[in-house]
Structure 1
Amino acid sequence: MRGEYNGLKALILKENPSAYYIHCFAHQLQLALVAVAQKHPKIETFFTTVHRLVNIVGGSAKWSDLIRENQRLKILESLSVGEISSGRGLNQEITLQRPGDTRWGSHYSCLINLIAMFSTIVDVIEMIATDTTSTETRGDACISLELMLRFEFAFNLYLMKKILGISNELSRTLQTKDQDIVNAMKLVQICKTQLQTMRDDGWDSFLGVICSFGETHMINVPDMDDMFVTVGCSRRETVTNLHHFRVEMFYAVIDMQLQELNDHFSEVNSDLLIYVACLSPSNSFADFDKIKLIRLCQYYPVDFDAANILELDDQLDTIILDMRTSEDFEELQGISNLAQKLIVKNKHEVYPLAYKLVTLTLVLPVATAIVERAFSAMTYVKNRLRNRIGDQWLNDSLIAYIEKDVFDKIENDVIMEHYQSMRIRREQL
C-alpha cells in the first residue's frame, strides 16, 4: 500500500493529485519515535537492555516486593537526612513499569521510574546475580548489571528520557477524543523547536547532568579527550569520547528524530488541518480566517481556478457575516452540521463556492486515535471463539465495548426494562 510507484497511495495520486489523506497523527508520532529506536543501533541496544531489566525484576513477585521495600527504605533515609521533603502527593510508590509496544508514553514513564529507582534496581540486580536459586536469570542479571553501570547506558537513558519527554505532551494531546487541531499542530511545531534548541544549545547542560548522575551512582565518567574504541571496530576508526557522544550519539539521534518528525508531520498535512479548522462554526466562527481558507483552495486547483478564488475572496466575507447574524447558525458545532444547515436554508445555492469548499473538507479523510482504538477493540470482541459473529452483533458489541463510559452511566433497571419489553418473556427479570 505504501509503495512509492505502484502502491495504493501512488496509484490514487496518479488519478487525482489532490486526493489528500491525513493519517492518524498519534500513530505517526509513534512511528517517528519507533523509527529512531530501530534505525540507530545504540538506541536499539539500549531499549533491548531496558526490556531485559524489566523482565528480570518484574518477572518475579519476590523481586518486585524487594524493590518496593528497598525503595521505601531509601525514601525514609532521604527524608531523615533532609534530601527530600514530605507532603501530600509526594514520594508515592512507584514501580518499573513494563513499556507497551503501541504506547510510547509508557516508555517515557518506564525511563522516568528507572532513573528515580536506579540505585534500588542496581542493588536488586546484584542480589539476583548472586542468588543461587535464580539459575535461570543469573546470567541475564550479570549482563544487565554490567551494562547498567556503564556511562553509555546512563547517557542513552537521559537522552531518550529527554526526547520522549519533549514529545510526551504532544503524544497525550493527539490521543484525546476531543482533539483540538490547531493546538495539536502548535504542539508539533513546539516539539520540533525544542529538539532543535536542545541540539544547538543543550549539550553542555546535558553532559553536566549525566556526569552528576554518574558520580551519584558510582559510574565511571570517561575523559572526553580519550579515544573511544568500539568492540569489533578497527582501531583506525577510533574517535575521541567527545566526538562519539556528542556527534555520533547526541547530534545523530536528535537529527534523526527531527527528520522523522518532518517526514511524518508534513507541511501539507499540517496546513490542511489548520485551514480546515478555520471553517468550524463553533463559537460563532471564532476560528474563521479568510486568508487561510484561500490558501486551502489552492490545494485543489481542479476545483478552484484563479477566477473562482477571486470570486470566493468576496463571497467569504458575505457568507461569514450572514451566518454570524443569523440565529439558524448559532448553535452549530461541526463542519458537517454547517453543511446540512446550508442545504436546509438553501444557502448552498446562494454561496456555491463556499459550499464546495465545505464539502471538500468533509471528504478529506482524517484518521484519529479513536479509529485506531476501534480496530484494536475488534481483536478483543471478534476473537478465536467468536470468529463467526455477524455484522450487526459485532457492531453492537463494539459500541458497548468502545463506549464503556456511556454505558456505565445507564442503570441496570433501565437495561432490564428494555430487555423485557423487546418481546414477551415467560418470567419477569
Structure 2
Amino acid sequence: MLDLSNHHQSIQIVIDKHSQKVKNEYRMRLEASIDVSRFLLQYGLPFRGHDESESSINQGFFLGLLRWHGDKHPDAGKVILENAPQNDTLTCPMIQKDIANACAKETLKAIIGDLNGDYFGILVDESKDISHKEQMALVLRFVNKNGEVVERFIDLVHVSDTSACSLKKAIYSLLSVHSLSPSKIRGQGYDGASNMKGEINGLKTLIMKDSPSAYYIHCFAHQLQLTLVAIAKKHLDVEDFFDHVSNMLNVVGGFFKRRDLLRDHQAKKLEQLFESGEVKKGQGLHQERGLQRPGDTRWGSHFKTLDSFIVIFSSIVHVLEVIELEGSTSSDRNQAEYLLTKRKSSGVSYEHHLCVEVFFVVIDVQLQELNDRFDVVSGDLLLGMGSLKSGQFFL
C-alpha cells in the first residue's frame, strides 16, 4: 500500500498558497475601490459616467480614477478592472453604493461620537427634488470635544408631506436611529414658513412641548435677505433700477457674441491702463468680470451683480453702442438705444434726489421691515452679539 500522506500535504500547501493569493488580490481590489470612493465622496464628485463601456473615452470619475490608480500602483493594476475575475471586479454600481453607504455610516458614527451625548441644536429645511418628492435635510449644531461650535449634516430623507407633524416624526426618527434624545435639543433653526414657526401647530411649537428648552430662532441671515429683497420690490425707484439692470443683462449678456465682445473690450481697456501706469499688475488682481444675474432671495447676488456692473460699466456701454448700430434686429437696436438714453427729468438735483428721495426713504422702509420681521428677543440678541463683536462687553 502506497504512503500518500506527504503527497496530500503538498497538495494542501499549494491550495493554501493559492487561497492566500486570492485573498490578497481581493483585498487589493477592495482597497483600491474604497480609496477611489473616499476621494470622490470627500470632494462631492459623481461616481458614474454616461457611457461606462470599455470603448468609452470617458467612463466617469470612479472607473477613470480607478484606472489611474492602477497605472500609478502596478501591484494594484495587475488585479483590478480587466485583470480581475469578471465575477469579482468590485466596480459595479451596487458595490459603489455599498462602499458609499459604509463611508456614510462611519462618518455619522464619528459625528455622533464627537457630540458625546451632549446638548445640540437642530437646523431643518425642506424642498422638492427633481422628481417633485419632498425631502427634509437635518443638520446638528453642537460644541465638539475641542470646544468648537460645529454644524454637521446628518441625513436627507423623503417625507410624505411638509406638515409640522410629518416633519417632527421624521426628525425624531432620525434622532432615534443615532440614539439621540429629543430632550437634548436646545435650539431650533428653520425658515419663516408657517408650518415651521407657527405659534399653535408649527414645528417649533410641537418640539417645544416635548423639550421646553428647545428655543426657536429664525435664521437671521435668511430674515435679512428677505428684508433687503423686499425693499427692492417696495420702493418704486429701487424696483425701477433693478428692472433696468435686468433688461441690460438680457441685452448684453444674452448672446455668446456679445459676451465675447464684452470680454474683449475689458481686456483692451485693462491693457491701456497698464501702459498708462494707472493700474499695477499683480497676482490675483484684475480678474475678468462677467455679468451675473441676481437671485430672487439672495441679496448677496444683487451686490455681486452691481459690483461687476460698476467695474465694467464702460465695457457695457461700448457693447450697447455696438448693438445700437449693428444689432441684427430692430428690436435689439431699439432696446440698446433705450438703455443708453433713458433719463428721468426732475426739478431737483441728483444729490437731493439720491439722498433725500431714495436713500433716506429706503432706510426708513428698511427699519420698518426689520421691526416687522424681527421680534424683541431676536433684536436684543442681535444687539448683544454686535456689542460682543465690537468689544463693548467685558467679562
Question: Which category of TM-score, normalised to the shorter sequence, fits these structures?
Answer: 0.3 to 0.5
TM-score where L is the length of structure 2: 0.42
**Higher gyration radius (CA):** 2
Question: TM-score when scaled to structure 1?
Answer: 0.39
Q: Which has the higher helix share?
A: 1
RCO (CA 8 Å, sep 6+): is it higher in 1 or 2? 1
